[in-house]
Amino acid sequence: MFKERLKELRKSKGLSQKQLAEKTGISVHTINSYESGRRDPNTKNLQILQDFFQVSQGFLLGELKSDDFFKDQEVIDLNLDTVLTQISMLKQNMKISESYQNRVATLFLLKSLNYINNEMLCRTTNTLDENDINSLFNALILLNDKGLKEAIKRIQELTYITTYTNK
């Protein structure tokens, strides 16, 4: 399924294999091998393609259907924008210290992750607590853009180790 998805994404951007190679730094031969199904992507190239197309690994590998991925995307984006606007207004209306802002952000992340875990992913257990989210959030705010991208890569690498996955 990866080969079809890559071709679909490349064509949706109006790119030839050569143009995709130039933009990603992946050789034309390698892209051609991916699209013909002769070769699967390594971790590095998979990450490059995910970043370039701004899609999840699951979508890129064909684990999610295109229709499911894009279904109601406009409505979802609008609702998320509304939530973010409300959070921004809350911050503007409340004269709160930076440490309290961090606490509010931590609680927001915790509640959001719990909702996603329980309602959207239909998981019945939740091992994250407020201290976990607080530690994660405090670590992330110390990172610059390069550090954040590296943290994301490391988290994605953990998904390849069966000890750390739900499968």
Q: What is the pLDDT of residues 89-113, one digit of tens each?
A: 777 777 777 767 777 777 777 777 7
Give the closest residue to 60 by CA, choosing from 74, 36, 40. Answer: 40
Residue 61 has pLDDT above 80, yes or no: yes
**What pTM value is reported for the model?**
0.45
Q: Say which residues have a Cβ less than 8 Å from residue 56's Cβ, sequence separation at least 6.
A: 50, 64
Per the CB < 8 A criterion, the answer to whether 54 and 44 are in contact is no
128 confidence band (pLDDT: 50, 70, 90) = low
Q: Say which residues have a Cβ less than 8 Å from residue 128's Cβ, sequence separation at least 6.
A: 110, 113, 114, 117
Q: What is the largest CA-CA distance in the chain?
A: 59
Residue 5, class by beta-carbon neighbours within 10 Å (0-12 exposed, 13-18 middle, 19+ buried)? Answer: buried
Position 55 scores a pLDDT of 79
- Alpha carbon distance 76, 108 (integer Å): 18
Q: What is the pLDDT of residues 3-58, one digit of tens each?
A: 988 998 899 889 999 999 999 999 999 999 999 999 999 989 998 998 888 777 77
The predicted model gives 64-76 an average pLDDT of 60
Position 33 scores a pLDDT of 95
Position 6 scores a pLDDT of 92
Q: Which two tokens stand for residue 154?
A: 């490391």
The predicted model gives 70-78 an average pLDDT of 64
